[in-house]
């Protein structure tokens, strides 16, 4: 489980104007809350924060006014075009407590190559200890035949973890290639008579 320390500065100005000035200075407005604590408004260095968030479910040790608070990113707001971080909410966590998070699912193993693999859901929700959140789960596709699916319940979880997502939620589906080809060809076949009719009219 990745844990990264970032120095923060307490915010003294609020509002859209103050937030824009902070972003121009390479800072990201943020709020720390949870565990009955009064929300703390801070700014974080955008570059360091961006690097840290490349790791899924990273824990952030936020250092502000000499005090360190262990937090988990809860909501990240990005600019719709530049995709830079505009704002982030951080929730306080305690070592040893359990949290509910979405963890990416990676696939491995040889499946039936006659099928087309569809990733229906890329993550599953689990309850795990805050300081032991996996970076990802592995789902073995070995022997998966075309036309079949693997579900959230098929993902092997480490000890101490509990599945929160619906066990019957499809994670991957191996479509039959012949069916997929037929579905793609159908619209083209339907369009052909219409095109021929247009030629005759003209």
Q: Which CATH superfamily is domain 3-93 in?
A: Ribosomal Protein L25; Chain P (2.40.240.10)
pLDDT digits (tens, 9 = 90+) for 155-178: 999 998 999 999 999 999 999 876
pLDDT of residue 17: 85
Is CATH 2.170.120.20 what the domain over 99-195 is classified as, yes or no?
Answer: yes
**Long-range CB contacts (< 8 A, 24+ apart) of 102-106?**
102/57, 103/56, 103/57, 103/128, 103/133, 103/134, 103/135, 103/136, 103/137, 104/56, 104/135, 104/136, 104/137, 105/136, 105/137, 105/138, 105/139, 105/155, 105/171, 106/136, 106/137, 106/138, 106/139
pLDDT of residue 115: 86
Domain chopping of the chain, boundaries: 3-93, 99-195
pLDDT of residue 189: 56
Domains 3-93 and 99-195 share a fold: no
pLDDT of residue 192: 55
pLDDT of residue 167: 97
Mean pLDDT by 10 residues, the chain (202 residues): 88 82 90 91 94 91 93 92 91 92 93 90 95 92 93 94 97 80 56 55 53
pLDDT of residue 36: 85
pLDDT of residue 79: 86
């Amino acid at each position: 489980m990745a844990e990264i320390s970032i120095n923060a500065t307490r915010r003294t100005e609020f509002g859209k104007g103050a937030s824009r000035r902070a972003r121009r200075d390479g800072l990201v407005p943020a709020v720390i809350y949870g565990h009955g604590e009064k929300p703390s408004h801070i700014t974080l260095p955008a570059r360091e924060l961006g690097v840290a968030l490349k790791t899924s479910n990273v824990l952030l040790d936020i250092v502000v006014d000499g005090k360190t608070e262990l937090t988990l990113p809860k909501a990240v707001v990005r600019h719709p075009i530049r995709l830079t971080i505009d704002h982030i909410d951080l929730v306080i966590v305690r070592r040893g407590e359990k949290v509910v998070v979405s963890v990416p699912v990676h696939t491995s193993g040889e499946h039936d190559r006659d099928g087309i693999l569809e990733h229906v859901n890329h993550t599953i929700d689990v309850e795990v200890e805050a300081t032991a959140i996996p970076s990802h789960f592995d789902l073995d596709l070995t022997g998966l035949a075309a036309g079949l699916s693997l579900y959230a319940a098929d993902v092997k979880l480490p000890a101490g973890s509990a599945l929160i997502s619906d066990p019957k939620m499809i994670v991957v589906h191996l479509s039959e290639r012949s069916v997929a080809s037929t579905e793609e060809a159908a619209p083209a076949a339907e369009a052909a008579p219409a095109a021929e009719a247009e030629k005759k009219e003209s």
